[in-house]
Amino acid sequence: MRRLLAVAAGLVVLAASACSAPAPPRSAAPPATPTGPATLPAPTGAHRVGTIALYLKDASRPDPWNPDAHARELKVTLWYPAERRDGKRAPYMTPKESQLAMRRFGIAGVPDDTLSRTRTNAAEDAAPTGRGLPLVVLSPGFTHPVSSLTSLAEDLASRGYVVAGIDHTYESYATTFPDGRVAACLACDSDTDPGFGTGVVAGRAADVSFVLDQLPAKWAGSDRIDRSRIAMVGQSIGGAGAMAAMVKDSRVRAGIDMDGTTYARIPKGGFSRPFMFLGSPQHVPGGRDRSWDRDWKLLTGWKRWLVLSGAEHQSFTDAPLLAGALGVKPPSDVLPGARAAELTRTYVAAFLDRHLKARPQPLLDEPSSRYPEVTFCPATCGRS
């Protein structure tokens, strides 16, 4: 089912989301004057950040969405600790991708290239630094490119992680390949088909395994990665894909689902690798989405279920950070973009530091007065 987060009169922002429990309609807020190009918040870690795009082709399987494609092509964006910040800042997306995003989500009244002018913090092709770096696979929500998680990716790279963000071809409004081809969203009209969610997460799990197979041969800096320390983080159906990838591939040691309805079935005997649910109030126990209730009982290892008051489905992405540039005024009861980004970065990093770097994280053991929006479920939260 498709969820549209309407935050301005007649305006649909970067929030179309298949495969997530529907939310009740919200009252619209009036449009605001666009503020000009957005700037993503600075990373909080000690390292400078570099980025590079890789293009992979899996000839062992046809593309699940394009019957004319006899191989699965993927674009993978890496973010990593860099030696210096020299070099050109990486674009958030291309002008064509920005144009397609605007049209896809019905955004009017601002230039088509607005999103491509968003300022990032990573330098293109910067020389990597560090050894024994943990790897985090990042998967975006349905209809969205992995650039929608850039702020989180840059922050993790600054904290000493290599991040591999996957653009799942034909599942977002635009994926640009080296020869100039732009793959549109062939899957976008299929999200009401029976078994759609289950099929998507199975395909994403296959994409993840292929990327893990290919990364050593495709990136000159891959020898800096500690391949015994791999985790996956995803938003919406990307979060569901994290669960699916972990069930399929034992190389993925830990995972986070950010506000995604889950589809992959956990073995009845339970699943012992660390997993964290991080979501909006639709995911409280007994709430509109019951998939977390079902899966929680089968998670037999370290686990957390955190709900952010005031969060909406896109609060875990860059969308709220881009609202001003798009002339969008979010409702007053929604987490401000900067605060949503801070909470997401903080709790995701704490989980990864605990499970990939073996660093104690008291933040994950009990509620914090510094972050009162975060509720620990199921013990201390009810329906809202």
Instruction: Determine the angle formed by the axes of helices 237-248 and 196-218, rounding to 10 degrees.
Output: 70
pLDDT score of 293 = 95
- Whether residue 338 contacts residue 37, with contact meaning beta carbons closer than 8 Å, is answered with no
56, pLDDT greater than 90: yes
Q: What is the DSSP letter of 30?
A: P
- Identify whether 158 is part of a domain: yes
Question: pLDDT digit string (tens) for 327-340?
Answer: 888 888 999 999 99
What is the DSSP secondary-structure string of 318-346? SHHHHTGGGT----TTSPPHHHHHHHHHH
CATH of the domain at 32: 3.40.50.1820
The pLDDT confidence band at residue 214, using thresholds 50, 70 and 90, is very high
- Whether residue 31 contacts residue 11, with contact meaning beta carbons closer than 8 Å, is answered with yes
- Identify whether 382 is part of a domain: no
Question: pLDDT digit string (tens) for 13-52?
Answer: 444 344 544 343 343 444 567 777 899 999 999 999 999 9
Structural domains counted in the chain:
1
Question: What is residue 147's three-state secondary structure?
Answer: helix
- Whether residue 257 contacts residue 251, with contact meaning beta carbons closer than 8 Å, is answered with no
* Distance (Å, whole) CA 348 – CA 268: 27
Dihedral, CA of residue 239, residue 240, residue 246 and residue 251, to nearest 10: -40
Question: Which range marks the domain in which residue 283 is found?
Answer: 2-377
- Identify whether 384 is part of a domain: no
Question: pLDDT digit string (tens) for 196-212?
Answer: 999 999 999 999 999 99
Q: What is the pTM of this model?
A: 0.92
Strands (E), 209-251: 225-235
- Identify whether 187 is part of a domain: yes
pLDDT score of 36 = 74
- Identify whether 383 is part of a domain: no
The pLDDT confidence band at residue 281, using thresholds 50, 70 and 90, is very high
Instruction: Report the relative pairing of strands 225-235 and 11-12 from DSSP bridges.
Output: unpaired
- Identify whether 263 is part of a domain: yes
